[in-house]
Each structure stands twice: as C-alpha cells, then as structure tokens.
Amino acid sequence: MLFSGVPTVLDLQDVIERFTFDNTCTFLFGFDPNCLPYKCNELQDIAYEKALSVLEDMVLSRHYIPKCIWKLQKWLQIGQEKKGKAAKENLHKFLDKCITDYKCDEDRRIFKRNEDVDESRYCLLKELMKERLGKAEMIEKYIRDTAVNLFGAGNGTISSGLCWFFWLVSINPIVEAKIIQEIKDNCLYQEENLITNLSVKELDKLVYLHGAICEALRLYPPLAFQHKCAIKSDILPSGEHVGPNTKLIYSLYAMGRMQQIWGEDCLEFKPERWIAARGGIIHVPSYKFIAFNAGPRSCIGKDLSFVQMKMVAASLLWKFRIQVVEGHPVTLRTSIVLRMKHGLKVEVSKRCI
C-alpha cells in the first residue's frame, strides 16, 4: 500500500466514484456500504454502485436514437435498454434493502426506548420518513425515488469534478505547489502531516484552491450539456424565436472554452482568473460560469459541493503526491456525466512536506 515507500498505482476515477457513493449513502441512510474498503489494491465491481452510470448511458442513448427504435429495444429487451433495466433493478434492490434495514433498526430503537440509545445518529431518511408519516403506502417509493435523485445529483457530478481537478493539477506542477503552500499557510496540521482542522471556516481561507476547482469545472463541467424544452412560444435574449415544444441543447463544455466569454487564454488552466487583486474570489455571474446551472434552476447543492470538493482535494494533495501514469490516455467518455473514457490511472505516493 501507500506506506511501503513504493508508489501505488490505482484508478483514481473508480476510487473517487466509490468514495462519493459511500458518502451519499452515509448522508441518506446513516451507514457506509464500504464500496471503497480500506485496502483497495483489488476493487471488485459492485453492481448497484455502477448502476447509475449505466442508467445515465441509457438515458443519453434516448437522445440520439430515434424514439421508435429505443422503444422497440425496450419492448424486446435488447441493447442499452436491457442494460438499463438490469441496472435499475440492482439499484432499486439495494435501496429497498437500505430502507427496510433502517426501518427495522428504528423499530428496535423504539422498542428499547428505556435503554441507552444513541440519538445522535442523523440521516436524511429519518426526515423523509417524518415527512411522509401516515402515508405508508407511498413512503418507500417516495424515499427510493428521492434517493435516486440525490445519488444522481451528488455522486457522479462530484466525482467527475474531482477527477478532472486532480488530473489538471497533476499536469500543472506550479498550480499544485501553490495549493500546497496555501494549505500550509492556512490549515492546522500535525507532525504526521495530517490536517486536523478542515472546518468550513478553514476551507474558506483556501482561495487559490477554490479558484483551481472553479477552473476545473469551467473546462470540464460534470454535466457537459443541458437539455431544455419550451412549454410555450418564447423569445430568447438573442432575439431568436422559440416555438412551443422546441427542444434546445446547449454545451457547457463548449461555453467554458469560448474566447468571447473567457478571453484569449480560455484554454489555459488558470486559477488566478478567479482571484481578485485583494485576494478574494471574484464573483462570476452564473450565466457565464454555468456549471451549476443558472436562474431558478440553479443547483441548491452548490455550496455543499464546493465544501466537499475542497475538503477532499486539500486532504489528498496535502498527504499524497498524485501523478498520472506515463502513457495513460485521458479522453472524454460519451456520457451524461463527463467521465474519463479509460479511467484515471495514477501513481500515488506519500508527500514529504
């Protein structure tokens, strides 16, 4: 492992996706499914953990395959539709078990209410069950559907953003050095190089790290394109007329690389573009930096996403040196969430501060 003195080679994309899946489960159900075990030399595929990416592929295929074709595939249960159905069943089976186990734990807790019980355990499932109290026939489907939405929103997108961030930092050593120095100047740490204080207050001091994450999201937005449909006739700001039921697809990936929006250095990974002369973060309108959408559909989890990404980035970069394996191809994978086609093979070694 990492403590042997020999760099460990692993697929960082797979590791981060497992981590975010475990993290989402902890938030939702109050338990860790351990998709990312402590010893991760040989990670086994887990059907329910991979199910979301398979479902995303199925949904994407419905955008470029004629409706009559994918409807036929669904009826015949072939192709991407067959894979999607199996993935949905695996994910729903896992979520149903989580809900059932949680309800059993709650029943035991209530039965033993006079004994010492840990009341500090919190998870979203507890609040969802309170909300649907008295609606037993709806509660499990409601919770399961809510869980699927939260997995889709907070699992693949966070892991995608972090993967592209670590890749960009690894090929830009000057940026990496500045991030490490900023962490050293602003965070508490022990002799063992373990950061001991990563509160939101401390993370807010990491301005350069915030700028680097924004740059990664600008160049490689987790959701590379968006699909909108007009419910009635409208006029766009450009003056173009849009008829009812017109489908519009725009590319966030392309917008993040346009000179007229970001300037001549639009293709450069440049965290400094986000930092004001006095050292604070420059406010960029959401209609320009659109990784979290804009207007009434802005992502409500934006602030939480930044906290999680900065916490993971600071912890890993402070303790480990991450280098892409020589010759490993880093290319885009055609998917709803912007993933790397061949994963991210890296060599990880302990950093000497």
CA dihedral for 101, 312, 193, 12, sign (positive or negative):
positive
Structure tokens, 230: 């007009």
The structure's pTM equals 0.88
As a whole number of Å, the CA-based R_g of the chain is 22
> Is the CB of residue 162 less than 8 Å from the CB of residue 312?
yes
Backbone angles phi, psi at 267, to 5 degrees: -90, -5
Instruction: Read off the pLDDT band of 222 (50, 70, 90).
Output: very high
Which two three-digit tokens encode residue 54? 């398979």
Least confident range from 23-32, 132-141, 252-261, 328-337: namely: 132-141
Looking at the chain, the domain(s) classified CATH 1.10.630.10 span 1-9+159-353
* Residue 3: band (very low, low, confident or very high) from pLDDT cuts 50, 70, 90: very low
CA dihedral for 313, 315, 321, 326, sign (positive or negative)? negative
* CA distance linking residue 198 with residue 192, whole number of Å: 16
Residue keyed to tokens 């078990």: 97
Give 307-344 pLDDT, tens digit per residue: 999 999 999 999 899 999 999 999 999 888 999 999 99
pLDDT digits (tens, 9 = 90+) for 63-93: 889 999 999 999 999 999 999 999 999 999 9
Is the pLDDT score of 140 beyond 90? Answer: no
CATH number of 1-9+159-353: 1.10.630.10
Q: What is the pLDDT of residues 155-183, one digit of tens each?
A: 889 999 999 999 999 999 999 999 999 99
The neighbour count for residue 286, using CB atoms within 10 Å, is 16
Residue with tokens 């700001």: 237
Q: Is the pLDDT of residue 7 over 90?
A: no
CB atoms within 10 A of CB 84: 22
Neighbouring residues of 110: CB distance < 8 A, sequence distance ≥ 6: none
Statement: residue 231 has pLDDT above 80: yes
What's the pLDDT at 330?
A: 94
